[in-house]
Every structure is written in structure tokens, then in C-alpha cells.
Structure 1
Amino acid sequence: MSSRLHREVWAALGTVLDPELDEPITDLDFVESSTVSAEGVATVVLRLPTFFCAPNFSFLMVADAYDAVSEIDGITRADVTLADHHASDEINGGVAAQSGFVGTFEGLAVAELDELRAQFFRKAALAGQDKIARPLVDDGASPAELANTSLGDLPPSAELDRMKKRRAALGLPNGYDAPLLIDGDGNRITEAQVPLHLRRARLQRVGIETNGEFCKSLLQTRYPAAAH
């Protein structure tokens, strides 16, 4: 049972994203250790690239990991902690007590992190449009063609699934007939708007990817054993 549960715990952790980088914490090597006891107690330790990573991002990852692991059938308790962080004690205690971000940082935090999460989903959804549209542009698709492309016109891909999930989380159009190119409110981008919209989407994608590579480099410097 423990072997099965360990695989399920790892799979659950793979659904937890670094909100800023839009990548799973397992792919980022943010999981320092993960074990499951014979009694079904899951013990997970997370680590981050620096001692001073933003507390709000850090809290989101620990809380999301706790929720994902706790939902697994057969896990009797989830102990999810963050190591080597300036707010480890506060975050670990708050997540264990299910206090929320405001309760964890009482007097310092004034709101929960739902809007922060949505903000990064919006960025990821915009970046995803560049990832999917870029090959079409390279193949000669015109602004008019791009403006009239729907998600159902596109071949299946992991990037398309990722973008659909981000849109779904935001309540934006993500079905077969949904436009490929939309603004932040879900409105179809017009032919005239396509060039500027794609430049913005590309800048967003490059920013996310550059930040991701920087964080991976910092992590490998801080924890040399994490280098591949």
C-alpha cells in the first residue's frame, strides 16, 4: 500500500504549481523529500531557490501541496513543510492549522491569495497563446486567419491542454468553439489587434520562461545535489 500511495502522493504533488513560473513543483525540484508511512502518513518537505522567496508564493505552494496530498484516498495525515525559508515557521504552522494566509500572517496580510493565483493564471493563459500561435505564424498564418482560429481547429497538445486549464480556472472560453486569441475578459481578438496582442503574449511567455530558468539556476546553486 505504501508504494502505491507514494506514487499517488508524487502524482498529486505534480499538480501543484509554482504560481509565478506556471510549472509543477516536481519538475522544478522543489520537493526535497516525500515519504509515506505504513500508517498512511505522508511527509513532504519542500525547498525553494532562495531563503527570501516571497512568502505569498511560498505559502501557496505549501498549502496547495497539503490540499493535494490530503485528498488522496488512504492518506491518513499530510505533514507538508517548507525548509530553509525565512518564514518557514509561520508558513508551516499556518498550513498545518489551516489558518489561511491572513490568519498565518495576522496583522501583515490583508487578503487571501485567490486574486494572486488568478493573476498568474491570466499571465499563463496569455503566454500560452503565444506558444500555440507561434508555429502557426511561422507557417505563414495571417492575422485574419489567426483571429478566426478556434481551439477546435488546433491539433491536440500538452500546451493546448495547459492553456485550456488556465482559462477554465479563470472562467474564460476554453471549449471547442472558443477563439485561440482572446483578451483578459475573454473577448475574441480582432484581425487588427492580432500583431500587438501576439507581441504582448510573446513578452509574457519569454518573461515566465526566463524567470523559470533563473530560479532553476538558483536552486541548483543552493542545493547542488538538485542539479541534473
Structure 2
Amino acid sequence: MTSPYLAALNTATKYPSIPTYHALDPKNGGLLDRPTTFEGDVILTEKVDGTNGRIVLLPDGDYFIGSREELLYAKGDRIENPALSIVEALKPLADRLKPRDEHGQIVMFFLEVYGRKIGGAAKQYTGHGSLGYRLFDIACLLPDVLDWPREQISTWRDNGGQRFCTEATLQRAAEAEAIELTPRLETVPGEWLPTGIEDMAAFLAGRLPVTRVALDEGAGHQPEGIVLRTADRSVIAKARFQDYTRTLKRRANRR
């Protein structure tokens, strides 16, 4: 990617990392007894184990499709990269999306593309090579951001510069565009969330015993985990089964 504009667009529209519900130990990748603090209602959604895709919709109707790290396709075949089936999965959706922001903002649709041969968990969602996607976030930004130096853009993005939709707005947009969201499991008061690692492992198993996004009858149905978020998305965290299993096994071996 040589164009300064495309480089800035790519940097500004990447999805920021979501922290784990219990902090990760930088020494061994295990979980620490430091849970995320939530206040008020917390929305629980399934975390789908695929690859992060994005549709970047410009105010003039132009669009780009990208992976988590790079732009893969531009409207009119100006860029084309078939990596991880992301373009194949998302191009029909991108073709029918229309600019919806009256303030001239760039709108980003963030989706999990999964199934087929995407990652080691693909077989949990399909036994027949099916491919699917689910919308999990929408954010926007003003085009002026693209005039900044790339390092400044990265810092801005990683410190919450992108303006994400609230849960209510996200649901309305998904309905208006006929896009399936990642499954909404339950809404619970923040004080109900477990603080201990063992208790959180049990909480996950009780809320999501099997995936809700299987693509066909041949799927293995083992889920990846849950995303926890406030209605205004001011606090968001993820809890993955494998992190809790690994941490509890390591603790048991020490005894």
C-alpha cells in the first residue's frame, strides 16, 4: 500500500483491541485476579472465533473491505486481495450499503467472518465448508483525521478516538440493513458478574454451553467465549473459554 491516503484510512479504521475480562499476566499469558469493573447493565454477546473483517463506507458511497490489519478490496476492483475469504463474504453486503451519516463521516462496519477454513476453530461452526459473518460493532470518524500523521492516528484510535454506536443504535442499524448481529445472550447487572476466575469459568459455561452461530449440521458447536459490554459501549471486555481453562489447569498443577 503506497498511497498516503489509503495508509491513513487503513490505520484510522482498524478495530481496537478488546481487553480480557480478567487481566492477562504478561509473564505467562495466564489470567490474573483483576476483573474489569462494570457498572449498570452489561450486555453479553457471543464472541465468534473467525477473522475480523471491516467495511469502510465513505460519505460519497465509495467503500473498502479490510481484514483487521489491511485493506483488501476497494469498490470497482481497485484493490483486490482474496485473503481469508473476507472479500467473498462481505462484498455482497458492501455493494448494497448506502451512506447513512448526514454529517459526512466515514462509517465502519466491523464483522466477524467465520467458517470455511478460517482458523483452527472453523470446524466448530461448519462441517461442510460453509462461510458466514456476523456484525459486532459500528463506528464512525470525521475524514479530517486522515490528514494527521499516522502515529497520531494510531494513538487516537487506541485511546478511544473512534465513535462507536450504542447498543440501541447498533441494533437499529443491523435491522435497517438486514445484517445479523453476534448473538445477544443476556443482559445482567454489573454487580452480578463473577470476580473470581473459577466462578467466571462457570459463568461462561452456564451462559454459552454451545455456539449459537453454527452454519450447518456438521458443526462441532464449541464456542469461543463471551463479550461483555455496557449499553453505551464505554466499557467492553472479552472472556474466552481457553483462557480460563488454561489458567485453572496451571493453578491445579501447582497444588
Same fold (TM over 0.5): no
- Judging by fraction of residues, say which structure has more helix: 1
Considering only CA atoms, is the larger Rg found in Structure 1 or Structure 2? 1
Report the TM-score, using the length of structure 1 for normalisation.
0.28
